[in-house]
Amino acid sequence: MSLKKILLLVLAFIVVAGVVVGSIIHSRNSVTAVATGKAVQQDLIATVSGTGQIKPLTYVNVGATAFGRITHLYVKEGDHVKKGQLIATVESQQPASQVQAQQATIAANKTTVQSYIAAEKTAQANLAEAKADLEQKQLDFQRYQQLYKEQLVAKQDFDAKKALYDVDVATVQQRQAALAQAQAQTASARSQVNQSVAMLKGNSYQLGLTESRAPFDALVTNVPVREGETVVVGIQNAEGSTLMTLANMSIITAEVKVDETDIVNVKLGQPAEVTIDAFPGRSLKGHVTEVGDQALLRTTGLATSQSTTGTEEAKDFKVVVTLDNPPSDLRPGLSCNAKITTANKPNVLTIPIQALVERDLPTEEALFKNHGKEPTGATASAATKTSDTQGAYVLVHDGSRLRVKFVPVTTGVVGSTDIEVLSGLKPGDEIVTGRYKVLRTLKSGTAVKRDNSPVTIATDNSSS
């Protein structure tokens, strides 16, 4: 074979090889690189977070109950007090003098009652004497009346006995009236004593208002006044009306705000984990004990029913988490974060949340049959657009190539990074999880290749 023919054969081989290599390079360049993952069985925990502050379940602003100058404060901020313990006093000279005066009045009225009781006993004795005398006079009169009928005594003697009898009848009536008068005077004096006792109770109550006592075992969290200041009554939360704030620290709560999109998953009794900014690395267990019904404006904290503005803005709902075993060093007002477990499902099929997409199902089925190309003719007519369906792209082998196919799925509980799959996939199915730009335009039937390399963020060094 001549050298010329050999050169021609080599040249032809090089051309064919170039065409083949070019075709391979072109086919590779037309393959879409995708990040992949698998549908796996695992425990899925769904949580909702909220921020807020530590609050005692029971706290009260102890207000002034009497007008006057504070004479003594028996506690300071940070002290622990017992129920009924004296915590503050206001000047009490006037109510104390009224109590003493009323006590003296009661003593005088009781003496009057005793004197009337003695007079009543005297009247009773006089009445008994008059009745005995009347009984004797009645017997004499009846005897003389019989003798007079028999004409054994003179009419003058009979008239004298009748007169004595009539006098004694009148005397008994007089003594009965005197006894009734004495009894009425005694009852009146007793009523005056009762009235004085009632007035003493009122005066004692007014005197008691000058002393403030703890309503329950508590921690003193705020004392806005000082000894010597004058306090006023009846103006809630006004300056000079609150002596101190007491908090019952036996039951501590974390009052947090949860976004309106998450509140539907929060229920009473759900477990929660509370972290406090002041105690890094420490978490406290608790459970949900209250879920607010009123939406709160995020900017003002007011309930939507109290807002007069018509502007739309983000809203939160109040959720109260009661701590199971609160430590003794907690203080009201500490900032905290609560992570509430809204669902805990063991061994369920899950996929990454970012793998979920929404597509028109008939169109995707037509695209897969046409290897990712837009359908035409009868195929295009069959792919009538309906409505978007939730699903994921599954990797399928098409000979030597990998292609993606849109598979509708139904989902359940949403976790922080994964979501439960109820139907449509099976364990081990390989799905497309990214990248976002790829998923946004990916179509069924598209040839793909795996690219699970870490995403690198480009940096601009032009200014350096």
Pairwise CA distance, residues 340 & 345, whole Å? 15
Domain coordinates in residue numbering, the chain: 32-43+350-450, 49-56+243-346, 94-208
pLDDT of residue 287: 96
Nearest to 379 by CA among 371, 369, 392, 389: 369
Mean pLDDT of the residues in the chain: 86
First to last CA, the chain: 64
Domain at 49-56+243-346, CATH homologous superfamily: Efflux pump adaptor protein, beta barrel domain (2.40.30.170)
pLDDT of residue 314: 85
| Mean pLDDT value of segment 110-137 | 89
- pLDDT band at residue 460, thresholds of 50, 70 and 90? very low
- Same topology, domains 32-43+350-450 and 49-56+243-346? Answer is no
82: its two tokens = 């017992």
Pairwise CA distance, residues 201 & 208, whole Å? 10
Pairwise CA distance, residues 239 & 245, whole Å? 13
| Mean pLDDT value of segment 287-307 | 85
pLDDT of residue 232: 85
Task: Return all residues near 360 (Cβ < 8 A) that are at least 6 apart.
Answer: 385, 386, 387, 388, 389
pLDDT of residue 242: 87
pLDDT of residue 31: 87
pLDDT of residue 464: 37
Task: Please give the CATH topology (third level) of the domain spanning 94-208.
Answer: Helix Hairpins (1.10.287)
Q: Are 440 and 379 in contact (CB under 8 A)?
A: no
Condensed to tens digits (0 to 9), the pLDDT of residues 384-432 reads: 566 789 999 999 998 888 999 999 999 999 888 999 999 999 999 999 9
| Residue 457 scores a pLDDT above 70 | no
pLDDT of residue 376: 62
pLDDT of residue 377: 54
Condensed to tens digits (0 to 9), the pLDDT of residues 192-235 reads: 999 999 999 999 999 998 999 999 998 898 899 999 988 888 66
| Residue 157 scores a pLDDT above 60 | yes
- Domain 32-43+350-450, architecture per CATH: Beta Barrel (2.40)
Please indicate, yes or no, whether the overall pTM of this predicted structure exceeds 0.85: no
